[in-house]
Amino acid sequence: MQEKQQDLQVKQETRVVSKMKDLGKSQLNGMLQQVEAFAKLDQTPLTQQETAFALNILESVYKKVQEQNLLWSQIDIMGCGLYSQVKSYARLGLTIRDNELYIDIRDNGKTGLKDINIKKQYQGLEKELVKWCSKKIVRFYKDIVCAGDNLEKEFNFETGLTEIKKHEKDPKVDRNKLDNIIGAYAIAYVRELPTDTKTTPYMIYIDRNRIMRAYNASPTKEKTIWNLDTRKMVLKTASWELYNYFKPFIEIPIELKKDWETTKDEMNWETGEVIDVVVTETASDELISFDEEVEAEPTQAIAEEDIPVANPNYKKRPF
């Protein structure tokens, strides 16, 4: 008798899991249809490969909504331009699977709902540079500099670039502690001519002042990600500066120009502060403000709700 009850319970649980999977598949299909609808409205229908990229992003969005126990009614899908965001990133060929993007869900004080925003990781920026920079970048290298390290930089008069000649690391230093980090650098190795067998290292160096400006620009009081993974956030700052240097050399195909423009993160400009950029004669005063990945507080369990449909008359706000 007890075995029959256990078998019955197992079958019921199996049916529940199966129903949830069917529900998830149905919702994802509905969301994908909305992305395709927005692509057609923009007269940029998705290719088969771009549809696969879009599905990968939507699966990550769906998973994160579930992990945070949110209802779809709590999310302003149309207001945050979710489907347009997915469409643009899919057309650019960026994925969450390769850590090129991440999903950011946060409260919107004006609407009382939550916004979903898709952000580029530095891996996504590097992919853009490799694909579309007129200077042929073949690889990247980045690292942090801590107190106690022996770092030697030298100006190369032949190339007009500053190069790192030596970086000996102090093995006794905690390299994930912000107090110990005094700088960081990012290098792009460029093949100047197709016939070149050697590459030219284009390097930017950021000092502690720049690192702390990025830390203070983080919108959260707790600085969660900065405290948990300090090294990663410092390297991200250095990568952003390297990306800024190469941005004038990016040649986006005309058919992707709009998608690229709408996925660029907003910049904050500061007057009078100069970043230590040693890759060129002129320094940049550009401060890049990027968000941390913040986990929202759990609320209610996800419900069986329909995905909002696209409204052709809806005017998307910029994101």
Q: Give the residue extent of every domain in the chain.
A: 2-121, 123-288
* 4 band by pLDDT with thresholds 50, 70 and 90: low
pLDDT at 78 over 80: yes
Both tokens assigned to 316 = 């998307």
Please tell me the distance from the alpha carbon of residue 214 to that of residue 268, in angstroms, as a whole number: 11
Q: Give the residue-averaged pLDDT of 26-34.
A: 90
- Cα separation of 249 and 136, whole Å? 10
What is the pLDDT confidence band of residue 221, given thresholds at 50, 70 and 90?
confident
Per-residue pLDDT tens digits for 141-170: 999 999 999 999 999 999 999 999 999 999
Distance of alpha carbon 71 from alpha carbon 170, whole angstroms = 49
pLDDT at 203 over 80: yes
Give the N- to C-terminal CA distance of the chain in Å, as an integer.
60
Angle between helices 82-92 and 48-67 (to 10 degrees): 130
Give the model's pLDDT for residue 224: 82
pLDDT score for 97: 86
| Cα–Cα distance measured from residue 114 to residue 97, given in angstroms and rounded to the nearest whole number | 24
Q: Cα separation of 290 and 266, whole Å?
A: 8
- Residue 300 has a pLDDT of 32
Look at phi and psi of residue 247 and say left if phi exceeds 0, alpha if psi is from -120 to 50, else beta.
alpha
Confirm if 146 and 180 have CB atoms less than 8 A apart: yes
Beta strands in the chain (DSSP E): 101-107, 114-120, 136-146, 150-156, 161-168, 181-191, 200-207, 267-269, 286-288
Tens-place pLDDT, residues 256-300: 999 999 888 643 323 222 233 333 333 333 334 344 443 333 333
Q: Looking at residue 249, what is its pLDDT?
A: 94
CA 222 to CA 23: how far, in whole Å?
36
Kindly compute the dihedral angle of the four CA atoms of residues 17, 22, 27, 30, in this order, to the nearest 10 degrees: 170
Q: What is the predicted pLDDT for the residue at 267?
A: 36
pLDDT at 271: 24
pLDDT at res. 5:
55
Ramachandran angles phi, psi of 155, nearest 5°: -80, 130
Check residue 92 and give its pLDDT: 96
Q: Rounded to whole angstroms, how far apart are CA atoms 72 and 76?
A: 8
* Mean pLDDT for the stretch of residues 36-47: 93
The reported pLDDT for the residue numbered 6 is 54
Q: What's the average model confidence in pLDDT over 101-108? A: 91
- Which whole number is the average pLDDT over 210-214? 94
Tell whether the model's pLDDT for residue 20 goes beyond 50: no
Q: What is the pLDDT of residue 88?
A: 95
In this prediction, residue 113 carries a pLDDT of 94
pTM above 0.85, yes or no: no
How confident is the model at residue 318, as a pLDDT? 37
Q: What is the mean pLDDT of the chain?
A: 80
pLDDT of residue 1: 58
How many other C-beta atoms lie within 10 A of the C-beta of residue 157?
A: 7
Q: Are strands 181-191 and 200-207 parallel, antiparallel or unpaired?
A: antiparallel
